[in-house]
Amino acid sequence: MMEDTGDRRRSRVALEVATYSILGFWLFYVVIASTQSLIVGWDNQFELVQRRIGVTIAGIALTFLLYGILRKVDERSFGERIAVAFIAAIPCAIGIGLANYFFFNAYKPEVIYRDPEMLREMIRHPYLAKNVAEIAVSRYFFLTAWAALYLAISYASETREAERRVAAYQQTAKEAEIRALRYQVNPHFLFNTLNSLSSLVMTGRNDEAEAMIMNLSTFYRTSLSGDPMDDVPLSEEVRLQRLYLAIEAVRFPDRLETDIDIPEDLMRLCVPGLILQPLVENAIKYGVSKANRPVKISISARSERGKLVLTVSDDGKGPGDAAEHGTGVGLANVRDRLQARFGSKAGLVTHAPQGGGFVVTLAMPEVRDGC
């Protein structure tokens, strides 16, 4: 129903739709008029039908003329189009009145009117203006009814197109937000990792620094190869976190312990790429790096009423210091990415157990295809 004309987008009722509506309206007229004629009991019904068809053809042509006029003002305001429809219907109705007068009064009236007195009266007093006006008034309402249908279809078409444009803009904005949030993860992670690498170099732990560089290279080669808009299998996300934990294990060989507990059947589910990265990074930053004892980072998953529930936890510092987990880029990034990807169907919850540590739980719809 929409046509593009250069830089301007015009909302128009398609010719096919207009044709069907016009033919439908005039078919309705023929049926009603013919039924009325049969009920009244006019003679020579076949001749009446022929002439009625002549009026109908003229009416269809004039209605198409009205359609052409309305198309010309498609870019005007809706109020202006209504005004044009009501004004343009006047000459069209008069034209139909003239066609009706010709077929039923001027052209061989003796064929359809048997009463001699009626015929003589018609010849002496043709009453052209009166007869045309009577028909024009009734056909005017007929034409404005069709014009109202046209305007309703046109308005509905505009509304649908506006909704499609809004949806397209929203989708574009959503994709841009997801991309921006995903790209935000990489420099944040790189900054922290380079700090760790710098510490190793400055303390003369060159072999460990080299191992970290190799793992870092593998991590980035894998994580940057995909489109930020694409989901990845949970198995791939876990593999990336293992790489990252291997990088950090070089820095904290005696303090970092890991436990990954994810059922095999959940590994095929799709998740946003690097969705766990900021959480694991936070656990390293606030749990492992600030402890003077071994700290275990746990990653687990379960299925719960059609949702995938992922948990990242550590048993590091106690509740007082664990609140630090809620600051910075990490949790906000994950929360925003879940919102952009799944809306209200996903969420993030944090918990600081009284015995120490920090727990982050993600819940999102189970997605089995598309990655």
| N residues, the chain | 371
Same domain, 348 and 264: yes
**Residue 162 is encoded by which pair of tokens?**
């506006």
CA distance 183 to 138: 67
Confidence (pLDDT) at 211: 79
Confidence (pLDDT) at 157: 84
Cβ(93)–Cβ(139) under 8 Å? yes
Same domain, 288 and 347: yes
Q: Is 8 among the domain residues? A: no
Q: Is 207 among the domain residues? A: yes
Q: Is 371 among the domain residues? A: no
Confidence (pLDDT) at 230: 76
CA distance 6 to 157: 19
Which has the closest alpha carbon to 221: 243, 188, 254, 204?
A: 243
Confidence (pLDDT) at 46: 81
Q: Is 336 among the domain residues? A: yes
Q: Is 98 among the domain residues? A: yes
Confidence (pLDDT) at 246: 86
Same domain, 222 and 177: no
Same domain, 193 and 91: no
Same domain, 128 and 209: no
Domain boundary at 181, 216, 235, which?
181
Domain holding 36, by residue range, is 15-181
Question: What is the chain's pLDDT, residue by residue, as a tens digit (371 residues)?
Answer: 434 433 334 445 678 888 999 999 999 888 888 888 888 777 778 888 888 899 999 999 999 999 999 999 888 888 899 999 999 999 999 999 999 888 887 777 766 666 676 666 666 666 788 888 989 998 999 999 999 999 998 888 888 888 888 777 666 666 665 555 555 555 656 776 787 788 778 888 888 888 788 877 877 777 666 666 678 899 999 998 998 898 888 778 889 999 999 999 999 999 988 889 889 988 988 889 888 899 999 999 999 999 999 999 999 875 554 445 545 567 888 888 898 889 889 999 999 888 889 999 999 999 998 77
Query: How many Cβ atoms from other residues are within 10 Å of residue 205's Cβ?
Result: 16
Domain boundary at 148, 181, 214, which?
181
Q: Domain with 271 in it: what CATH number?
A: 3.30.565.10
Residue type, 55: V
Same domain, 286 and 265: yes
Confidence (pLDDT) at 187: 62
Confidence (pLDDT) at 176: 61
Q: Is 4 among the domain residues? A: no
Confidence (pLDDT) at 3: 40
Confidence (pLDDT) at 34: 85
Same domain, 202 and 111: no
Same domain, 20 and 148: yes
CA distance 300 to 319: 21
For the chain, the domain total comes to 2
Confidence (pLDDT) at 2: 39
DSSP one-letter code for 326? G
Same domain, 256 and 317: yes
Same domain, 28 and 133: yes
Same domain, 216 and 156: no
**pTM for this structure?**
0.52
Q: Is 2 among the domain residues? A: no
Domain boundary at 181, 197, 226, which?
181
Q: Is 10 among the domain residues? A: no
Same domain, 284 and 357: yes
